[in-house]
Structure 1
Amino acid sequence: MTEQARLSNATLSSLPREVTRPEYDRSRAKIGIVHLGIGAFHRAHQAVYTDSVLAGGDNDWGILGVSLRSGDTRDALEPQDGLYTVATRSGNGDSFRVIGSINRLLVAPENTEAVLDAMVDAAAKIVSLTVTEKGYCYSPASASLDESHPDIVHDLANPTAPKSAIGFIVEALSRRRANGTEPFTLLSCDNLPANGRTLQRVVTRFAELRDPSLADYIRENIAFPSTMVDRIVPATTDADRALTVAATKLTDTWPIMTEPFSQWVVEDHFPAGRPAWEKFGVTFVDDVDAFELMKLRLLNGSHSTLAYLGYLAGHETVSDVMKAPGFNDLIEAMMDEEISPTLPPLPGFDLAAYKTELRERFRNPALRHRTWQIAMDGSQKLPQRLLNTIRKCIESGSSFDRLALGVAAWMRYVTGVSETGAAIDVRDPLAAELKSRTAKKNSADEIFNALISMEQVFGDDLPANNVFRRSVEAQLEKILKHGAAETVAKTT
């Protein structure tokens, strides 16, 4: 069998006609965006919108993608001239589009100065981030900089050789200030509450620890617009690669699988300029908070609940979970009765239709989004996705038993042993502590008490709240006694 040619600038013209590809001159694009955390979500979301901007004739917004840890993405895409395929999958069929907006890729640990040079270059008007919750080196419970984080300790001691996204940002801003170069806008695209303000808080605090005058400069000159991003992006499998080869007739080492739905809501505050993303579906608003809370609580909170309960019940993907007895009813009731009453008003927005659409997205059989993947980094995600919603329920005196079931499922999951006795590969920044705390703990009260004292997850308020304690421990007792599947099936 003849080996397939590889996707690249030279092979673009050989793509089948039904595959969308860059029709613009990629060599003319300038690097206007430096993106930290060049992972799958960015490539399925912001890079796609930016590809449309470039195709529309604005050459100022090419992307330089930076990996802060591993060289895997660079190694996959550099031989492809930064090109990759986005496969949009649904029960109605698949479509394929090759994206050309990523012009260059760097791996920060291999070439720190090259990354800083790119961030300091006057052409770079935006530095954007998808580094996940843990990449902000902050405490999720307090949303403040974790000053004891090893990367923060290192970067304060070695400011010109940073490891963290925060360290890179502050060093680049320090150099731009010294050079008299106009500052860039910092654009967080991660699932954090008020992500722009969270980024502003940790960046300013880090700068303050380095040099109070630099912190003052950042407060006075740097914009941190908040955003709400939404698109489901499963991890790419070998079967996905084979699907892409069959459709494009070219080898793509790292294609992206995603769903038809894509949403991006952005606060319109870009003093240095920005792409005209609004021409291609981005919503610009004065305040993104209400949209962001809606998405974090309804989509992400439901997703995490499905992931932990579904994994424990033996289901590999979210669509599998949604087909199992009780899960759809559980999520629908949780959305309607427990989450929706905590949301601020969104005048003119059809919340009921949005919730229906979410459940339809979860049921998408073509999108094999693994429960194990969604379950990663739970200690970082739980406060935003479930615990803050529960806090609102406690304030209003309303019930939150289904939300508590999601928290209890996380507690059961991080014990690291499945309901069949198999080991669970718990991927979490606090995995070692979670394992140590739950070792040899078997009863609900033992597991609950071992975990509830983790202030970095639960803060100091929830452990002291008897209503929270009773509700979560009771749900954990049900999961341990009956198993996740039966517990969900019996939950109304």
Structure 2
Amino acid sequence: MRLSPRTLAETRNAARPAYDRARVTPGIVHLGLGNFHRAHQAVYVDDCLGATPDWGIRGVSLRRPDMRDALAPQSGLYTLAIRDGEGTRARIIGAVLDVLVATEAGGGVLAALCDPAIRIVSLTVTEKGYCRDGAGDLAVEHPAVAADLATPESPGSVPGLLVEALRRRRAAGVAPFTVLSCDNLPDNGATLARIVAQFARQRDAGLADWIAAEVAFPGSMVDRIVPATGDGDLAEIAALTGVEDAWPVVTEPFCQWVIEDRFPAGRPDLASAGVEFVDDVALYEKMKLRMLNGAHSTLAYLGHLRHHETVADVMQDAELAALVAEVMREAAGTLPLPAADLAGYAKRLQARFRNPALHHRTAQIAMDGSQKLPQRLLAPIAEAQAAGRPWAAMGRGVAGWIAYLLARDGTVEDPLAGQLRAAAAAGPETILSLRAVFGDLADARWFTDAILAEVARLRD
């Protein structure tokens, strides 16, 4: 049987939605509907729908129709499988009502964004979805941005979609939605606000001023390890639940969401579902980016070079496990938080990385390195150097990325793939000269000499 509202009652060994799904109406549009959102934000929303059924989610796939094609016959239902060393626990999530595809003509994305019932637009579009240049500002020469500025009423980029939808709502006298970034970016709310404002100003200064005055962009920090779904996962979950799910999602027990509480248009009671609302998420965000994500990138590149397929495999390699712990210690030294709290956080992270039931592939983490390294490793390295603190372990992560590029001849999934391919062909010095990645560090001999020496050691 295929998972659907009709077969929902036939599922076994799986918790089902504890609310009447027929009463659920949309209040959120989510851009970038993928595994992470379905294992994280959608689960929190699902926990709120019994009390407030007007907060259902309309998902948007920005590029491909795969997710829509998988979930449409299931009316948006999917299985969340939580795995640890004790086994797998399944739950059916009903928060996603439908999926739209932004690249399809007449796909209805702008209509959905302009619906007065939509009060939050959330995003998990990865770093590259923000269309930023090396300085972190809007890349006006980005092909998608340039196309949207030329034909602004049929946008395809994230900034273009948001600005056109807000323009239409303003023209119709409809209150703006809150824009909630859930991506791993420093100051993600402020970063998105800046990108949107810069795009809007390219179109209409008055619109840009209205967005700055009326639209809230709260910051957030999200944390849950969510690997890609494999064929083995589909078979295991079907055997467990007794129904076929075209695209279940697998994750770990741990889940965290910290949000700056600025929602002028309202929000679900996410606090009752475990969300932490704070005045400033910057420290939480920086702690995760540097300790979790920085260690993740390090183990991905070095683990790949040692032919380790998953994070758990890397953590069975004593030398790399010790390196991961040292990266976390060095990163913690750049954070103004109590040492005991950071040491406890590091221990919890390492235990999560060792979860043998979570097949988080190093190849998945290795994608888009040019967008990830600046905040995960390069910023803490620069701060550690300035403070006279050690950074050699974090430097090994950077060297691991360069060695990874050289080993793959630059053939990687990355927004800068063309530049990386050409730089890798010329050698590690040329990679280090890429200011779009390294910024001022490209000119710092204390940094480049140490990284080149480590790259040579790794390649030996």
Q: TM-score, normalised by structure 2?
A: 0.98
* 1:472 equivalent in alignment to 2:451: yes
Query: How far does residue 345 in structure 1 lie from its aligned partner after superposition?
Result: 2.5
* 1:432 equivalent in alignment to 2:404: no
Which letter does structure 1 place at the counterpart of 2:423?
Answer: R
**1:20 alignment partner, one of 12, 15, 18:** 15
Q: Distance in 2 between matches of 1:124 and 1:9?
A: 24
Structure-1 residue corresponding to 2:191: 198
Q: Distance in 2 between matches of 1:321 and 1:173?
A: 45
Could you give the per-residue CA deviations for residues 337-376 of structure 1, whole angstroms, max 9, x where no partner exists?
A: x1111012269x8222111010001110000100000000
Structure-2 residue corresponding to 1:66: 60
Query: How far does residue 311 in structure 1 lie from its aligned partner after superposition?
Result: 0.2
**8 A Cα contact 1:84 1:252, kept in partner:** yes
Q: CA RMSD in A?
A: 1.3
Query: How do 1:107-126 residues align onto structure 2 when only pairs under 5 Å count?
Result: 107-112=101-106, 114-126=108-120
Query: How far does residue 473 in structure 1 lie from its aligned partner after superposition?
Result: 1.0
Query: How do 1:86-485 residues align onto structure 2 when only pairs under 5 Å count?
Result: 86-112=80-106, 114-139=108-133, 141-336=134-329, 338-345=330-337, 350-417=341-408, 426-439=412-425, 441=426, 447-459=427-439, 461-481=440-460
Query: How far does residue 230 in structure 1 lie from its aligned partner after superposition?
Result: 0.3
Unaligned segments of structure 2, at least 5 residues: none
Structure-2 residue corresponding to 1:484: none
Which letter does structure 2 place at the counterpart of 1:455?
Answer: R
**8 A Cα contact 2:411 2:421, kept in partner:** no
- C-alpha spacing 1:164/1:295, structure 2 compared with 1 (3 Å): same
Which letter does structure 2 place at the counterpart of 1:437?
Answer: A
Query: How far does residue 113 in structure 1 lie from its aligned partner after superposition?
Result: 6.1
SS of equivalent to 2:89: strand
- C-alpha spacing 1:367/1:424, structure 2 compared with 1 (3 Å): farther
Q: Distance in 2 between matches of 1:290 and 1:42?
A: 22
- C-alpha spacing 1:430/1:416, structure 2 compared with 1 (3 Å): farther
Query: How far does residue 476 in structure 1 lie from its aligned partner after superposition?
Result: 0.6
SS of equivalent to 1:32: strand
* 1:9 equivalent in alignment to 2:1: no
**8 A Cα contact 1:195 1:227, kept in partner:** yes
Which letter does structure 1 place at the counterpart of 2:441?
Answer: L
SS of equivalent to 1:191: coil
Q: Distance in 2 between matches of 1:68 and 1:233?
A: 19
Query: How far does residue 448 in structure 1 lie from its aligned partner after superposition?
Result: 2.5
What count of residue pairs does the alignment treat as equivalent?
A: 460
Could you give the per-residue CA deviations for residues 426-482 of structure 1, whole angstroms, max 9, x where no partner exists?
A: 21111122112212x4xxxxx2221122111111x101111111221111111011x
Which letter does structure 1 place at the counterpart of 2:229?
Answer: T
Judge which range, 261-270 or 408-417, deviates more.
408-417
Query: How far does residue 111 in structure 1 lie from its aligned partner after superposition?
Result: 3.8
SS of equivalent to 2:406: coil
Query: How far does residue 112 in structure 1 lie from its aligned partner after superposition?
Result: 5.0
**8 A Cα contact 2:410 2:420, kept in partner:** no
SS of equivalent to 1:229: strand
**8 A Cα contact 2:120 2:180, kept in partner:** yes
Q: Distance in 1 between matches of 2:116 and 2:85?
A: 45
Q: Distance in 2 between matches of 1:344 and 1:35?
A: 33
Q: Distance in 2 between matches of 1:281 and 1:425?
A: 41
Could you give the per-residue CA deviations for residues 169-212 of structure 1, whole angstroms, max 9, x where no partner exists?
A: 00000001101101100000000000000000100000000111
Query: How far does residue 412 in structure 1 lie from its aligned partner after superposition?
Result: 1.1
SS of equivalent to 2:90: strand
Which letter does structure 1 place at the counterpart of 2:443?
Answer: A
Q: Distance in 2 between matches of 1:429 and 1:374?
A: 15
Q: Percent identity?
A: 53
**8 A Cα contact 2:294 2:327, kept in partner:** no
Q: TM-score, normalised by structure 1?
A: 0.92
Query: How far does residue 151 in structure 1 lie from its aligned partner after superposition?
Result: 0.3
- C-alpha spacing 1:214/1:346, structure 2 compared with 1 (3 Å): farther
Query: How far does residue 399 in structure 1 lie from its aligned partner after superposition?
Result: 2.1
**8 A Cα contact 1:64 1:102, kept in partner:** yes
**8 A Cα contact 1:112 1:161, kept in partner:** no
Q: Distance in 2 between matches of 1:152 and 1:299?
A: 31
**8 A Cα contact 2:228 2:360, kept in partner:** yes
Which letter does structure 2 place at the counterpart of 1:187?
Answer: L
Q: Distance in 1 between matches of 2:132 and 2:446?
A: 28
